[in-house]
Structure 1
């Protein structure tokens, strides 16, 4: 227990996190969290009084354990309180379907191609002609077809016609679960609106501070767009300085992601750390007397929170600003402080405010990266000593990048399925460059009102941003710049972190038992990998995907696959909808062909006289119908699946001569077509599978 004595907030935070995880992963319907919290508080008080009288180590230990159980129960209770779907007035618990609803825009407005997206906090709904109070968040998408920069603004009060619909689950196997992503933000409904479906009733911002913060950020973003003519450089500048990613070019975004420098484009702890480090260095001499330390603290805190205000008070910035504020106040007070306690206190405070932050990738990566830098970087740095100032600073930056990458390595593999090989080289240049880009952009915005000086500063800022982009593109074009297709499970991610922890313990305490345990973890990982490869080598599957306005099938055998589509798939469509399943199955790169293209080995492809297609693979036959049926099947002709695509004109009686096991309707068909065809198929007694309702059809052979 003495070893834990200097880390009270570490114990408290870990217990609180354990309570959150217990609540999330043992069922969110547990309704007795408050009673459980009251029980443990009562138990703690009883044990505390007993320990005061007994005055034994055992009694104190039991009291401490009871106290930690209080925080664990507190984590469960706080999570229950923040779970909006449990509230009786929530949209998911209404007795009827709303015809209208009223709410307030309660989030940033994000620009997408052709539309804008935001979140509406619902206040009232109209059901059966009666208005009633309601709660819940709805993700709204509205068309952006006017000359206005933004169709909606934070605080707009809207009247919406129609009912929001529950967020749909992933349409394809292993696809990113957007429903779970929104649910962690307490958003369970969506609504895609046309211009005539909503009306602004006024402005009623829930948080005036956030309202003015977003307004200021919009003004500064407009100034950047006016001053930087190149779209690529403007997108990087706006993302890096203000956190606005609306105009970020996809190719440059991918380049930053694949070089391991994407973190510089998301305003986060890195940016706050850069600003903090710069001004702490400038004001280092202002800490001699108590009064100077007060001035130093006020200046640093003012700068940090001004930057947080300018960037829209995003959660990632608030996390970092809060943590550095604690560090600054501790140093200024000349009290002894522990960086691990500081990190734990920041995490506890943020999770107490919103326990669902724990499920955000940014929260996990930022705290793990900081832990890596705090613990591992000094140990890596002390391995080599350089007399040259430049080499010393370069080595410090390299070791910081290495420590952060090592601490986040398992999570990076789990979430992003890739590893940037040249992260060390990219971060060695990009992080210092980002410092200059951030500083030059801030100075240029501050002096933008000065006629010649403002223009000159923006040119310098543009040049630095252009050079940083070009360097990233150069790194991305190096051989084997990124290793893609790495698919690990949650258990494997935990095993990798266990392995990392055991190696840290081995080097810290020089005890062979930790190395032996690490060897055991490596053996377990190897056994898992060999078992997975053995299964993958014997797998066969046929998948009909759910792609809007497109037809796509994959034929998989072993670790080889072929994707067949009606037209060439866009990289985004393939990456988002199809690639995750193939990577999960061990397929690094699938062959792609179109229905009108050349046949591929292993797949027999015949085009019928009426321009429809028959695909034969592993004894399975798929009739793809995209044109009206004008041929009659032979008496002994039987297919496994008939796939109706592209709103093909077909009557149910035309399908009856064909012998098939299942009829499939894919997402290339329009909603009106499916609504008309479904009852006809049901009436004719034809069993069908609609991928727009049930998701992709996966047939494991």
Structure 2
């Protein structure tokens, strides 16, 4: 039977996480978390005192349960405390629109093509001629067209003209919810600035330690840029060593994601673990006396926290540094540490600092990967005994990769909708290479001041990076290297983890009830999949998507689809991937046909026809729906009113709104290929004429279900 006695901190962590989830999913409007916490703490103290006096097992058990409920209440209270929008002075509660606002740059400055992005902590706003103090954060985007490497710095105090806008919800079905992503970081507003809209008035870094860390990271990044040379290798080096991903292009990101080695590019537990491994190899003789153990522990802790400082004190690094610090202290004082308790302490510490870390994908994946490696890897490794030293190391790396992949698989499918088939092969080579890339990079930066040695180390570092990149590109080209379009719901993700736990418990405890539970879960998943497939095979719908600067439309019939789009969207793969592809995957469509506008969609989808008119406009007829697409001034005059269902106005088409009255029963559709000023003008004209219209750019995708 599974015993909880050796895992007290695991119980505490699970209770604390339960409180956070209770608040996030059911208690966001609950205002009495302080009273609830005080109530359960008081009950626990009473139960604890009674258990000490009565010495009865029942009372002791009740006191233990009350203690765990106190941690549930602590999770509830902590999350409420960190939910900034409840503050009365928050930006969300302003009575009027600000003319100006002032705040301090409170985050890293990220490089993007043509602009830079950061977070401004707002301090005061000018409303109706009076300044008033406020709280809240705004995501800023500022143009970057000067010779300076950074337009803004952490700690800059900015005076900004205008008002920040609330972050919009996703405007396309199944699209990544960027509004919720920012809300998890307590950011509810954003502002796209022009160069004339802001002015730096002072510099007041709120955290001098973080400011020094950012400046050091920028200086080290400049050294890498100067000595690594090639942009591709430099971008990998900067991401792997310092966590600076500004220069990573989408091709590199896609390659590493396709091979299951994206974790190499995110400074996290892997990198901290590799540094810890190197330190332990160097200091392995520091163990014969208590003084030596303490000295060795001090060196390890100093090195780990120095690395966290160099990489900007990012949450992903702090998670790992806290865990390895606890392990180091335990070894120094010769206390047997339970790794599960260590992981639990690290999780609680980080969630106390910010309970919204629980919603971070990196937080979830890193802790699941650690737990998978700790529990599953030794069991996989013991399945095969290898006498050869080299093959034994290969087998160990293989089992680590498999254990981490199994532990994170359901969550990876839920978030990323893909599975890298050759993750085991890629990790066998890339992780050892990344180890030497990391060590050589650190050595090169440490000895850059030594003329010959520094140059040699940077050369070694470069060629290791080149080899790692080339190998990843080769793996990506292998047949069926990436399985894409896997769409599962949150419920199915939970069921997959329950299935994994049931199988693990069955193999560990040899109890048939766990195997029975696994069979039941598989049956539920199978019924869900069959039901979903039947629905998809019978579906018919037309979708007009919100795609900035472009037209994107899908005709879906069963599990096949045709995407009608202009040439701008066809050339911008990222735009298509972000706005349209998730919805098609959700509908079970994996390889839609692409038709460029203007074009001919006859036979692209059964019973569909797209005809180009003499004036270069198009008429689409599909499943009884008649849609006129106007991108040129209409020049054809019909003898009688045309009976259309919809008229789509594209690309700022010049026409008189009165002309639209000639199309009987037609609803006017506007998409984001037209400019905002054009759409606003048309709104007024269409309202005046009493014509029905739908603006995709404002209201989100137009989805018409035919069946």
TM-score for both structures, normalised by structure 2 = 0.98
Partner residue of 1:437? 437
Partner residue of 2:549? 549
Partner residue of 2:455? 455
Partner residue of 2:275? 275
Partner residue of 2:380? 380
Q: 2:594 aligns with which of 585, 592, 595?
A: 592
Partner residue of 1:668? 673
Instruction: Judge conservation of contact 1:373–1:403 (CA < 8 Å) in 2.
Output: yes
Partner residue of 1:212? 212
Partner residue of 1:499? 499
Partner residue of 2:682? 677
C-alpha deviation, 1:569, in angstroms: 4.3
C-alpha deviation, 1:27, in angstroms: 4.1
Partner residue of 1:656? 661
SS of the residue corresponding to residue 3 of structure 2 reads helix
C-alpha deviation, 1:50, in angstroms: 3.0
Partner residue of 2:705? 700
SS of the residue corresponding to residue 288 of structure 2 reads coil
C-alpha deviation, 1:278, in angstroms: 1.2
Aligned ranges for residues 42-441 of structure 1 at < 5 Å? 42-441=42-441
Instruction: Judge conservation of contact 1:632–1:657 (CA < 8 Å) in 2.
Output: no
C-alpha deviation, 1:453, in angstroms: 2.3
State the distance in 2 between where 1:249 and 1:679 align: 42
Instruction: Judge conservation of contact 1:106–1:155 (CA < 8 Å) in 2.
Output: yes
CA 1:600–1:260 in 2, change beyond 3 Å: closer, same or farther?
Answer: farther
* Structure 1 unpaired stretches of 5+: none
C-alpha deviation, 1:2, in angstroms: 9.1
Instruction: Judge conservation of contact 2:599–2:610 (CA < 8 Å) in 1.
Output: no
CA 1:59–1:633 in 2, change beyond 3 Å: closer, same or farther?
Answer: farther
Instruction: Judge conservation of contact 2:157–2:200 (CA < 8 Å) in 1.
Output: yes
Q: Deviations over 1:66-102 (max 9, x none)?
A: 1111100110110000001111111001111111111
Instruction: Judge conservation of contact 2:10–2:341 (CA < 8 Å) in 1.
Output: yes
Instruction: Judge conservation of contact 2:642–2:662 (CA < 8 Å) in 1.
Output: no
Partner residue of 2:609? 604
State the distance in 1 between where 2:327 and 2:224 align: 32
Q: Deviations over 1:301-321 (max 9, x none)?
A: 011011111111101001110
State the distance in 2 between where 1:377 and 1:562 align: 45
Q: Deviations over 1:273-330 (max 9, x none)?
A: 1100111121111111010011111100011011111111101001110110011001
SS of the residue corresponding to residue 171 of structure 1 reads coil
C-alpha deviation, 1:636, in angstroms: 6.0
The count of corresponding residues between Structure 1 and Structure 2 is 701
Instruction: Judge conservation of contact 1:642–1:660 (CA < 8 Å) in 2.
Output: no
1:28 matches 2:28: yes
C-alpha deviation, 1:45, in angstroms: 2.1
State the distance in 1 between where 2:639 and 2:667 align: 19
Partner residue of 2:585? 583
SS of the residue corresponding to residue 116 of structure 1 reads strand
C-alpha deviation, 1:633, in angstroms: 3.6
Instruction: Judge conservation of contact 1:633–1:658 (CA < 8 Å) in 2.
Output: no
CA 1:2–1:512 in 2, change beyond 3 Å: closer, same or farther?
Answer: closer
C-alpha deviation, 1:634, in angstroms: 4.9
SS of the residue corresponding to residue 173 of structure 1 reads coil
Instruction: Judge conservation of contact 2:600–2:612 (CA < 8 Å) in 1.
Output: no
Partner residue of 1:646? 651
Q: Deviations over 1:640-696 (max 9, x none)?
A: 111111111121211111123421110011111122221111111111111111111
State the distance in 2 between where 1:651 and 1:81 align: 55
State the distance in 2 between where 1:229 and 1:45 align: 63
* Structure 2 unpaired stretches of 5+: none
SS of the residue corresponding to residue 611 of structure 2 reads strand
SS of the residue corresponding to residue 669 of structure 1 reads coil
Instruction: Judge conservation of contact 1:373–1:400 (CA < 8 Å) in 2.
Output: yes
CA 1:454–1:557 in 2, change beyond 3 Å: closer, same or farther?
Answer: same
Larger deviation: 352-361 or 32-41?
32-41
Partner residue of 1:625? 630
Instruction: Judge conservation of contact 1:275–1:304 (CA < 8 Å) in 2.
Output: yes
State the distance in 1 between where 2:533 and 2:166 align: 38
Partner residue of 1:690? 695
C-alpha deviation, 1:596, in angstroms: 2.3
State the distance in 1 between where 2:40 and 2:323 align: 30
Partner residue of 1:3? 3
State the distance in 2 between where 1:556 and 1:657 align: 29
Q: Deviations over 1:111-133 (max 9, x none)?
A: 11100000000011110111110
C-alpha deviation, 1:55, in angstroms: 2.3
SS of the residue corresponding to residue 88 of structure 1 reads coil
Q: Deviations over 1:464-523 (max 9, x none)?
A: 000000000000000000100000000100110001001101110112221111111111
Larger deviation: 243-252 or 263-272?
243-252
State the distance in 2 between where 1:570 and 1:659 align: 36
Moved over 6 A (4+): none
C-alpha deviation, 1:263, in angstroms: 0.1
CA 1:232–1:284 in 2, change beyond 3 Å: closer, same or farther?
Answer: same
C-alpha deviation, 1:533, in angstroms: 0.4
State the distance in 2 between where 1:377 and 1:71 align: 31
SS of the residue corresponding to residue 656 of structure 1 reads helix
State the distance in 1 between where 2:665 and 2:637 align: 14
State the distance in 2 between where 1:634 and 1:293 align: 95
State the distance in 1 between where 2:284 and 2:648 align: 71
Q: Deviations over 1:187-210 (max 9, x none)?
A: 100000000000001110010000
TM-score for both structures, normalised by structure 1 = 0.99
SS of the residue corresponding to residue 554 of structure 2 reads strand
C-alpha deviation, 1:174, in angstroms: 0.5
C-alpha deviation, 1:457, in angstroms: 1.6
State the distance in 1 between where 2:37 and 2:541 align: 49
State the distance in 1 between where 2:451 and 2:511 align: 66
C-alpha deviation, 1:599, in angstroms: 2.5
